[in-house]
Amino acid sequence: MPTSRIPLEQELNPWVAAEARFNEAALRLGLNDGLCKVLRTPAREITVNIPVQLDDGRLEVFTGYRVQHSIARGPAKGGVRFAPDVTLDEVRALAAWMTWKCAVVNIPFGGGKGGVICNPQVLSEAELERITRRYTAEILPFIGPEVDVPAPDMNTNEQIMAWIMDTYSMHVRQTTTAVVTGKPLALGGSRGRPEATGRGCLFVTREALKRLGLPVEGSRVVIQGFGNVGSMSAKLMAREGFKIVAVIEVDGAIYNSNGLDIPELLKHRKTTGSITGFAGAEAIDPAEALFLECEVLLPGAKENVITSQNAGRIRTRALCEGANGPTTALADHILASQGVFVIPDILANAGGVTVSYFEWVQDRQGYFWNEQLVNERLEEIMVNSFRDVVGYVDKHGVNNRIAAYMLALDRVASVIKLRGIYA
């Protein structure tokens, strides 16, 4: 189904949109049906049941998943999320996205994703540790530095990665730091990892402005979401001379036409837990802030922020997708008609997995890089990947998103053809 023919009632289903974009890219590449089936189908899907004794003595059983979408280009790579609404379909689709993301930036990983159905907000740290360790033990035969390398995702962090690493290491009877990424520095984490996704957004946005003939200095930026991606993007962009004029969060939005003082805003948020009430800005309607005139709009929080219902009101020159799936497929066509330069998510937010790759490399080498080297190598990969994507745009006459999918599918398909099908 072409992206333009997605039924309106299915617009907010990101998996339908991803499949439509896959289909369009495969059609333009001329991939045959058999190869498309291979590219679509996950290599392995694991469902596990996790019995855990809660702090009050009750026994509860949680369900966990790990999907390895592709291992053609290397070990599966992808996060583990803890959330009450995790589904196998969701994990399956996210694993596929990781395959394409790793291929776009040309790092030697396939795509994987994991999840556990639980609500971390109502669980103690001890309960989270027991869930994490039992989940790890259940999927242990299917993970490892050369097989599948988990990482943090929604509601998981470096502490949970430390528990996964320790559990795996105890079972294999040797410390194996390379089994996960996103770990604490003391356990083999990489310098520059917390800033990596935001820094990657900075690099590709800078390249987009060059292509548009716009200066970095003074370019107005609106950021939706002020978690890790949004706050780091704001901090790094402000240092480079971008003018962050607005930040939008779930509990409000703030605006300053002269640019927000991001270091002070970060202090305010740390002290109060919110961006609202910041003295250096005026409060504005968060529903309207998305439509401020700007050079760069960076949705960095959640999916389906820009849809066919509001895309016509977007007033930006460049859209940098710091979040996964912030723009629906139907909105793509509206943005294109308005001349918005979209930096698609599988390129824009790939800085995180790129530095995760660096962490894996450093763990396997047993030699760790300084932050300057991490950042230099990240910049090289992000800039080259941006150029590869726009090269497909120029060659095939497609939009940036379909170009990114074409590049990814081309790279994975080429490896599968070279390896052949084992029978």
Active site residues: 113
> Which among 167, 192, 168, 171 has a CA at the least distance from the CA of 182?
192
> Which among 344, 339, 349 has a CA at the least distance from the CA of 327?
344
Dist. CA 223–CA 225, nearest whole Å: 6
> Which among 127, 105, 104 has a CA at the least distance from the CA of 116?
127
Whole-angstrom CA distances from 65 to 21, 81, 82, 86, 145 are 25, 10, 10, 9, 19
Q: What 8-state DSSP symbol labels residue 213? A: T
CB neighbour list of residue 296: distance below 8 Å, 6 or more residues apart: 205, 209, 219, 220, 221, 222, 237, 242, 316, 317, 318, 319, 320
Whole-angstrom CA distances from 330 to 188, 311, 318, 335, 379 are 43, 9, 18, 9, 31
Q: What token pair was written down for 186?
A: 């003391």
Q: Answer whether 342's CB lies under 8 Å from 365's CB.
A: no
**Letter for the amino acid at 94?**
L
Q: Maximum CA pair distance of the chain?
A: 66
